[in-house]
Each structure stands twice: as C-alpha cells, then as structure tokens.
Amino acid sequence: MNVLLDTSVFVAAMVEAHPAHPRALPWLQQLINGTHTGFVAAHSLAELYAILTTLPIHPRISASTAHQLIQHNVLDVCHVVSLSKTDYAAIIQHLSEQGIVGGVTYDALIVYAASKAKVDLLLTLNEKDFRRIYPEYAEKIVAP
C-alpha cells in the first residue's frame, strides 16, 4: 500500500512524549520495514525540521538530532513528492474558489502531493481540515 504521512504523524511517531505516539509509530515502522511504501510532501521536510527543533520538550531536540531523525525516518524510507509551479497555481486557484484562507493552505500542499503521488492513504492527525480542503479525496484521509 502507498501511504503518505503528514508532518503531524511523523512528529508523533518520532517523539515518544507525543500523545499520538502509540498510534503513529507503527505506521512509521511499517514504512521502515517495507510493509508499505512511504511518501512525504517536500513541504513536510522543512516543516518537520522546524517543529522538531522547537518542540517544548526537555531535553530539546538539537538541530543535528533533528537532521538525523529526518534522514533516517523520512528521507531514507520515503519518496519525496515535489510540487511544480503549475501545482502551486492549481492549489491556490482551488483554495480561492472554495473561499479557504489562512494556514490551512499548507495542509492543501500535502493533500495535493498525496493526490499527485496517487497514494492509497494520507495519514494525518488533522483529518478534519484536510477533508474540508479536498472533500473529493476524503475517503483516503485517515488518522493513524
């Protein structure tokens, strides 16, 4: 099965103190062991680094540790889905036509990447917003 993990699921899987860790970790492990084929939106790489390095946990995750976590748990096991200028234009047009504004724009990038990669599932801890952006993709958007 082809599965794209949202940033929120990667964070939960990698941070043991995260409340959703027990639900997210098995999905990451299935990507690592090859049970499923993993995908990640290119946008999520930067977002993941930003979140891991600023989480209010003790001890803090250092820049080098965040880099290692992303390399080992994401880049080494997932296909990165990049978006083109045309893709961004289509996303912005879709959002404007639907009257969707604000930070949910970044969620739209991830849903679009999942659609572009033709994944079977998009895993997120924010399924409500993701389904609101692209209701036609709703059946593939699930929480771990």
Long-range CB contacts (within 8 A, 24+) of 108-112? 108/133, 108/134, 109/41, 109/43, 109/83, 110/4, 110/6, 110/7, 110/41, 110/43, 110/44, 111/137, 111/141, 112/83, 112/87
Task: For 97-106, write each residue's pLDDT tens digit.
Answer: 999 999 999 9
pLDDT for res 82 = 98
Q: Which CATH architecture does the domain made up of 2-133 adopt?
A: 3-Layer(aba) Sandwich (3.40)
pLDDT for res 100 = 95
pLDDT for res 54 = 97
pLDDT for res 92 = 97
This prediction's pTM: 0.94
